[in-house]
Structure 1
């Protein structure tokens, strides 16, 4: 196990990736660190020889939970583990009172919105507004406001402080998805009642490792409707019902982990927990602004640079040049992370004939 007491630099972290040049799609899926690959291979070997056990995996999950807690600035007792963000948001949606109003963002990722829409049969209404109007939309009749810290389609960073202030003024529950933020943008999960985040993007984990943080208010208001054996106060004494004692902290909201994802996740999170998020953001958004200047776009101050590409020509040109980018909602997305450099900016510019 690595020493997590000291920070590491962006350059040091970048050297831990096996490759990365030309890969500009961390917003779709991160690249594995060398340590993640080693952990995954070791796990396969142990599984092959029958020397892996559920108890072993439990220890690995707890290592990952502790690293994630440090990364997002909350006690480990505030972190629940899961596999998908939509399932975690569904726990919040299930707690909405009949007739409640929920404020969401126009065009936000479906996992943040759909669970609330499925409560319409109980009179729960979802009001969607542009991301820069969320704070103004929160009012005395709002029960919950849910948004992504970074918008998936556009890369826009939500005005978190204004949203939280509006929610506090009206006693509104706050739910923030950090899937496109944790690992590249400084994140303080203690600022919200609930945060959810899948770790396979900017945190470069295997898909299947996700997290939920809960404040004391959230723990009191929400019910762990997905509770199973892993939510027990004593996991290995909770495999059979009907009697069950739930954990007394956020672990009550755990779902049983998809074991093969977690050795690699623990290795990746160990590294990311030692990075200075402000330095990571300065590196990534700095490259983003460098690209904006080269393409005569207004500075976006984002790690994900986007512009309208309705016919997909820009995305196709970059793909033909050997670059990996992504497209969403009629826009092309160019994402910069730890492994990217100014060489990638130059490659994008050249591929577009600029």
Structure 2
């Protein structure tokens, strides 16, 4: 297992980059792998076996990171596309509970099925209480995109099991900085370009073996075959028996980069990554007169955009979301980034209400 300092040495972003919740920074090893491949491609030396190996390595690294067997991991692209598999597999009349204010990639696929399923939205704090007998599925992001709030996962999963409901958890804003166990959920979905610092276009779906029969492989293509290179022509369909039946054909360069980034995080203690990022975030919160949040994300009210403007003027890369400004602290950040952000924020009004 590599140390946190060894992981940090892979990164070299400009000072003040506090935006991992929007897009991560590529490790040097990741950009080098893609540059090398572009040279091979441009000279007619495209190497398909290398891409195949990258997919296998990325799948295995993600499985290690989230605590499941690689056979339970499918490769995908976008969270909305993976979530749509779940939404399209629900029977008519199914009842789904979502979080009010959750990211739309977790919500729109269900709302798009609104003519045949019932979708309810509840506040994050009330999610566990809303999971009662008659609910078929609860769909939620473990870490909320707009606020950085970490939901009470223990309570949600326990309530779902008690009520006989399936669980779909979006780990996009969690995997990479927060220790997670994807085996807790019937299905999890993760975009890897944020905290896992992979190229955009690489994502993962995990499905428990007990839930697999309920999930229709509606996007099945040649890469979902039991032996893709032997079953890439019809008319017979021979899908993989495990989660690979939900694979989509990989965007090659994205997966070369993903293999490098995923290996970097899978071989580093995630608890140390969490302690670093959440520690910096709580240092900022303390400087603003706020209680610790235990999250690597700090989200502050910013209805007029003045805090966003002040942070950007101070050289901070942050995000404006839902009338708020969002700062995300990851492995490459340090105390100087905290001081830069704190100076900008205190100039816009000092301590903030809790």
Short-chain TM bin: over 0.9
Of 216-225 and 265-274, more deviation after overlay is shown by 216-225
> Cα RMSD between the aligned structures?
0.9
Q: Determine which of 89, 95, 108 is the counterpart of 2:102.
A: 108
Q: Determine which of 197, 217, 229 is the counterpart of 2:190.
A: 197
Is 1:11 aligned to residue 5 of structure 2? yes
Unaligned runs of 5+ in 1: 1-6
Q: Is the 8 A contact 1:20 1:340 kept in 2?
A: no
Aligned residues: 347
TM-score (norm 1): 0.96
Report 1:52-71 matches (<5 A). Answer: 52-71=46-65
Of 268-277 and 11-20, more deviation after overlay is shown by 11-20
Corresponding residue for residue 47 of structure 1: 41
Corresponding residue for residue 316 of structure 2: 323
Q: How far did 1:20 drift?
A: 4.3
Unaligned runs of 5+ in 2: none
Corresponding residue for residue 38 of structure 1: 32
Corresponding residue for residue 94 of structure 1: 88
Deviations 1:155-214 (A, max 9, x none): 000110000000000111000000000000001001111000000000000101000000
Is 1:73 aligned to residue 78 of structure 2? no
Corresponding residue for residue 186 of structure 1: 179
Deviations 1:33-74 (A, max 9, x none): 010011111111111122223333111111110111101100
Q: Which 4+ runs in 1 deviate beyond 4 A?
A: none
Deviations 1:229-253 (A, max 9, x none): 0000011122221112000000000
For 1:56 and 1:13, the matched residues in 2 are separated by: 24
Corresponding residue for residue 303 of structure 1: 296
TM-score (norm 2): 0.96
Corresponding residue for residue 4 of structure 1: none
Q: Is the 8 A contact 1:20 1:31 kept in 2?
A: no
Is 1:83 aligned to residue 77 of structure 2? yes
For 1:349 and 1:134, the matched residues in 2 are separated by: 33
For 2:263 and 2:291, the matched residues in 1 are separated by: 36
Q: How far did 1:298 drift?
A: 2.4
Of 203-212 and 42-51, more deviation after overlay is shown by 42-51
